[in-house]
Amino acid sequence: SHTIAAGDTYWDLARKAYGDATKWKLISEANKDFKPRRLPLGATLTIPPAAK
């Protein structure tokens, strides 16, 4: 999991979590309640394991 901070994007979180920013959709799909362009500060995102 990850607590959203100012400036966080799915792209950057995917790069940190998976070493590949293009996997940002994994995070987006696991967090359907959040809009990618409006991540609420302080909310907790689920960071799923990388697909094999």
* pLDDT tens per residue across span 3-38: 999 999 999 999 999 999 999 999 999 999 998 888
Q: How many domains does the chain have?
A: 1
Residue 24 domain-assigned (yes or no): yes
Residue 29 domain-assigned (yes or no): yes
Residue 36 domain-assigned (yes or no): yes
More confident residue, 35 or 52: 35
Can you spell out the DSSP letters for the chain?
-EE--TT--HHHHHHHHHS-GGGHHHHHHHTTTS-TT-PPTT-EE--PPPP-
Residue 50 domain-assigned (yes or no): no
pTM for the model: 0.85
| pLDDT score for 8 | 93
Say which CATH number the domain at 7 has.
Answer: 3.10.350
| pLDDT score for 52 | 62
Residue 51 domain-assigned (yes or no): no
State the residue range of the domain holding 16: 2-45
